[in-house]
Amino acid sequence: MLWAKKSRNEVLTRRLGAPSWTWMGWEGATSYLGTSYFTDEIDWLTNRTWVDWYIVDGSDNLICVWDSTRDTIIDNRSSEGNLNLQDKPQPIWRYGHCSEENLFGRKTVLWPIQEKPPTLNSSRVPRGFPYLAFVTTHSRFNARVVYLQQNITTTYIDICDKDGLVCGTLRDYYLSDMTSPDDGMKSVEIITISYADEGLTHFFTAGKNIKEIYGEFKIEPLPIIAFNVLVIAPHTQKPGIYERVGSGFLLKDSLFRGLEPPIWKQIVLG
């Protein structure tokens, strides 16, 4: 999920027949986020996201992308490093293992929301390859174009809270109804995906309004201060299905400062 267009000058267009949530659904150059933790998939899936992903396969079966029973490996080495089988081999979780030491792991609370996410209602997931279904928080914020180059391909878009204060930024945004700073604010639907990299301070530590409302951020040690988020929009021809139309970062402390309170919601991306 953590991909974006390769540069702000890149233009992405939808590729027919492929889903919006994958880079394969777009024509144009894309790249994964250049973050320190993304180089370690296990760390990201263990400590950074609370989402359980389900996909509808080619036979219209709903399958959990990761299952704690199915997706384990057994370490058969002894303490001396030999390959002798242990009497009681202990499973080593590849990722997503929930424990007291892993406070931000799957099936735990999403800070600062106290309630645990509900279980996915499989009966509400339409069959049809290749849908991606999951449960996460959903809210509405304002988006505003703040800068546009003359070639019209490079845009800088702010995510703003209910008071109009900047609380995030969009790396991508593909809706055609926002093309210039003169378009004003537009309400967008935002879902949280995971905790962003600790090093994401270049944007959120600057700005008088941000410091007055959300406080100062210490650079060392780097705190977890933001979420990786997606902007979604209802599919124009498929009721109940959403499409990914953008990605970005949202200040963690602004989660309750949107146009409406965040709620747990089941999302189906096509």
H/E element holding 42? helix 41-47
Give the range among 21-25, 86-90, 180-184, 258-262 with minimum mean pLDDT.
Answer: 86-90
The closest of 52, 173, 66, 201 to 117, measured between CA atoms, is 52
Per-residue pLDDT averaged across 141-168, rounded? 78
pTM over 0.75: yes
Is residue 135 within 8 A of residue 52, CB to CB? The reply is yes
Give the pLDDT confidence score for residue 90 in this predicted structure: 46
Percent of the chain with pLDDT over 90: 30
Q: What is the pLDDT of residues 43-102, one digit of tens each?
A: 666 667 888 889 998 899 999 886 655 665 444 444 454 444 445 444 444 434 445 554
Dihedral sign for Cα 120, 122, 123, 126, please.
Answer: positive
The closest of 156, 158, 154, 180 to 169, measured between CA atoms, is 158
Tokens representing 72? Answer: 């384990």
In angstroms, the CA 59 to CA 130 distance is 10
Is residue 107 within 8 A of residue 52, CB to CB? The reply is yes
pLDDT averaged over the chain?
A: 75
Is residue 227 within 8 A of residue 252, CB to CB? The reply is yes
In angstroms, the CA 105 to CA 231 distance is 23
Q: Is the pLDDT of residue 5 over 50?
A: yes
Q: Is the pLDDT of residue 113 over 60?
A: yes
Q: Which residue has the tokens 């949280």?
A: 192
Is residue 12 within 8 A of residue 26, CB to CB? The reply is yes
Q: Which residue has the tokens 């309400």?
A: 187
Give the pLDDT confidence score for residue 257 in this predicted structure: 92
Q: Which residue has the tokens 């790249």?
A: 31
Q: What is the pLDDT of residues 92-104, one digit of tens each?
A: 444 344 455 544 4
